[in-house]
Amino acid sequence: MEKYVIHGGKPLRGSVEISGAKNAAVAIIPAALMVHGVCRLENLPEISDTDTLLHILTYLGAKVNMINRTTVELDCTHVQMDILPERMWALTRKIRASYYLIGAMLGRFGKARTTMPGGCNFGLRPIDQHIKGLTALGAEMDVSGGFITASAGDGRLKGTTIYLDKVSVGATINIMIAAATAEGRTVIENVAREPHIVDLANFLNSMGADVRGAGTDVIKIRGVSQLHGGTYTLIPDQIEAGTYMAAVAAAGGAVRVSNVIPKHLECISSKLREMNVEVEEGDDYVLVRRDGPLHQVNLKTMPYPGFPTDMQPQMAAVLCCAPGDSIVTEGVWANGRFRYVGELKKMGAQIEVEDQSAFVHGVDHLTGAVVKACDLRAGAAVVIAGLAAGGVTEVEDITYIERGYQDLVGKFRALGADIQCVQIPEDRPANWNAG
Ligand code: UD1
């Protein structure tokens, strides 16, 4: 097992290159299962979630050819399996995005069966809108015993109009994938508008699908009989970029965050400016600088283009050192998503959680402590706090962080941070002889 050891209190300086978007990659890799021919994906993030999905496709019989660390060629032409064999269940239970295999297998084979997905623990994560959408497309759905089973009566789904009761990224993606090869026209209303929804639509279209309206709240899909091969370059990761921006806000300094789409960062940039952080936009980069004291702010997370819930823990970590009182309200996840608060408190943060809000009273400084990454973004929050804190912070359970951040340690070290990934020695009895 490994942990991060951070000697905090050093301002960040230099330039950081943002990797491909995790949440686009974890939708596009399963969607590639629908493609007949070679599908080349570029700017894929090198993280454990994409690795897990590529492993799953390999087990299913796809040819997976890594061209370099961030480019892969996938050929799923000869995949015939519509049921995930038992040896893959541990993988599908590890990540959230494995449920996109249901949409992809239904679209490709008219049948699908996989385990319930895993992923970050934000309390209850219902999938009723996925089920509602796929059922409307003509699939018989069964969720029981930890499995999701789906079958489209005569083998092909049928386009229809679907209204989502809740704006859901996952349900929008699953239904889009399945509808790409359904018979006729599908209209999905009240859909999510996140950048990765648009990226998935662009990917599907470049493989021969006909998806329109992604980025608005209505998506219209004309089903095609099959998708063909092609090359697609993924968008940069909005949340990874936001995490580095937040780290500069917390630790101070000046950093060029490169390979980004500044438009996707506007909600984060404008909040940081309110906090007295300078953010200057270029064509494909943002310059972030913080010299003076932070200002308190209130923020509430909302579906895109609102402030992203996946940046909520990182911003709360920054606000721990903003003089005055800030309120961080969670508007997407019902249980507040505040498990990281207990970890920040170990570092001297003053935060109280009530219902859907965290009340943050800014302190003079944070102090290093031994803390845990409770989930992916909670992990990013404690790293940010550790970079700003005085003394030494040790971050345990970093596998969560590695699910979504490519080379986090290398990137922060290049910015001048004193952070290392070290092996945790296992507890051994005194008479243990390793030799
Ligand atoms: C995705 C992201 C996650 C992010 C979230 C919101 C991936 C792999 N994960 O998760 O990092 O925090 O979007 O931006 O892309 N809901 C229902 N019924 C459903 C589905 C969702 O009630 O069938 C509710 C959820 O409980 C939640 C809200 O809708 O309150 C949003 O969830 P959703 O957008 O689906 O999140 P995920 O796709 O799981």
Query: Given this model, what pLDDT does residue 433 score?
Result: 54
Check residues 433 and 166 and name the one with the higher pLDDT: 166
Mean pLDDT is lowest, of 159-168, 391-400, 417-426, for 417-426
Query: Given this model, what pLDDT does residue 208 score?
Result: 98
Query: Given this model, what pLDDT does residue 85 score?
Result: 80
Give the domain ranges of the chain: 2-19+236-423, 22-233
Q: Tell whether the model's pLDDT for residue 190 goes beyond 60.
A: yes
Residues recorded for the chain: 435
Q: Which of 169, 315, 330 to mutate to test the pocket of ligand 1 (most atoms within 8 A of CB)?
A: 169
Ligand 1: residue whose CA is nearest its atom 32: 168
Q: Summarize pLDDT for 174-186 with one digit per residue, the tens.
A: 999 999 999 999 9
CB contact set of 435 (below 8 Å; sequence gap of 6+): none
Q: Are 199 and 224 in contact (CB under 8 A)?
A: no
pTM, two decimals, is 0.95
Q: Tokens standing for 401? A: 């962080």
CB contact set of 263 (below 8 Å; sequence gap of 6+): none
Mean pLDDT is lowest, of 11-20, 122-131, 350-359, 385-394, for 122-131
Q: Which CATH superfamily is domain 22-233 in?
A: Enolpyruvate transferase domain (3.65.10.10)
Mean pLDDT is lowest, of 46-50, 96-100, 137-141, 267-271, for 96-100
Please state which CATH class domain 2-19+236-423 belongs to: alpha beta
Which ranges of 212-299 would DSSP assign to H, the alpha helix?
238-251, 266-274
Report the separation in Å between the CA atom of 250 and the middle of ligand 1, taken as the mean of its atom positions. Answer: 28
Query: Given this model, what pLDDT does residue 267 score?
Result: 96
CA–CA separation, 152 and 141 (whole Å) = 9
CA–CA separation, 320 and 336 (whole Å) = 18
Q: Tokens standing for 118? A: 């895993």
pLDDT tier at 46 (50, 70, 90 boundaries)? very high
Q: Summarize pLDDT for 232-263 with one digit per residue, the tens.
A: 999 999 999 999 999 999 999 999 999 999 99
Cβ of residue 208 lying under 6 Å from some atom of ligand 1: no
DSSP 8-state secondary structure symbol assigned to residue 215 = T
Taking alpha carbons only, the member of 79, 18, 69 closest to residue 41 is: 69
CB contact set of 298 (below 8 Å; sequence gap of 6+): 326, 327, 328, 329
Residue 113 pairs with which residues in a beta bridge? 83, 149
Q: Summarize pLDDT for 98-113 with one digit per residue, the tens.
A: 899 999 999 999 999 9
